[in-house]
Amino acid sequence: MATINQNGTAQIRDNFTEQELKSGSWDAPESWELSDATLDALEYLRQWSGEPIVVTSTLRTPLHNASVGASSSSQHLTGNAIDFKWADPQVHDEMVGKLRQGIVCSGEVDGIVWSTLYERLGGKGGGFGWYETFLHIDDRGEEGDDTIMWDLSNNKYDQFNMDTQFNREALTDVDYCGGAPQEGKKKPGLLRVLESIFGGGKYSEDGALSFVDRLITYLMVLFLGITATIIYKKTKK
């Protein structure tokens, strides 16, 4: 485990410092431990892409974790997980597309990424989550385990549902280079908000996070709209 000091500036990996990796929790301890395997996987993705990566979440305290509606068993609670995105949105979409294509057709050049990630995670499989604006990676599991994968990208990148079963079949049993199972169209934002609230066990890691954020945004816009209307009516009197 790598020790992360909240106020530190040490270089933890070639492309990541303590300030880039520090916890975003307001009640985070002054120092805490972050998984070396997850860091190695993140560093590999940075080197593979050749493009800057922004870390969006590392350690979360129980209070912070609960406040964002994340799972009570989230890997962020133990310092085993990192959420990240490529700094340039266009580059991010391009790299995510390559990662997904590497699963669909593991024999292509981008398929090597996944075997290397598996090695960086100590052969434990780990966890990998697809979201609309970021990715999640952690080092859960035991040596020899399959990767636990979930897809909450709302078909932003393609029509596949890249969950654990899809990943297992694509990488070990089935050659999807000629085509893979499709999963329909994007869901409306309101429907996804409702699913985030009432979806229950479907969101096994941090699936509700982006949708809860969206709900808060909707409520804020509604509140500001009502407030503006009230003010406007009062000024007209």
pLDDT digits (tens, 9 = 90+) for 176-189: 776 666 666 666 66
Q: In what order do the strands lie in the sheet with 127-131?
A: 53-57, 81-86, 135-138, 127-131, 148-152
> What would the pLDDT profile of 90-106 be if each residue is shown by its tens digit?
999 999 999 998 888 87
First to last CA, the chain: 65
State the average pLDDT over residues 196-210: 46
Structure token pair of residue 119 = 């090695």
Alpha-carbon distance values, 141 to 4, 30, 43, 127 (Å):
23, 28, 20, 8
Residue 201: its pLDDT value, please? 40
94 sits in which H/E element: helix 89-104
Return the pLDDT at 32.
96
pLDDT in tens, 119-128: 999 888 899 9
Average pLDDT, the chain: 83
For 44-85, what is each residue's pLDDT tens digit?
A: 999 999 999 999 999 999 999 888 778 888 999 999 999 999
Residue 207 has pLDDT above 60, yes or no: no
Q: Is the pLDDT of residue 200 over 50?
A: no
* Mean pLDDT confidence for 112-134: 90
DSSP single-letter state for residue 32: E
pLDDT for 15: 96
pLDDT grade, residue 165 (50/70/90)?
Answer: confident
| pLDDT greater than 50 at residue 157 | yes
pLDDT of residue 154: 85
Q: What is the pLDDT of residue 20?
A: 97
Among 19-33, 101-115, 142-156, the minimum mean pLDDT is found in 101-115
For residue 13, what pLDDT band results from cuts at 50, 70 and 90? very high
- The model's confidence at residue 24, banded by pLDDT at 50, 70 and 90, is very high
Instruction: Map 144-206 to HEC letters.
Output: CCCCEEEEECCCCCCCCCCCHHHHHHHHHHCCCCCCCCCCCCCCCHHHHHHHHHHCHHHCCCC
Please determine, for residue 221, whether its predicted confidence score (pLDDT) is greater than 90. Answer: no
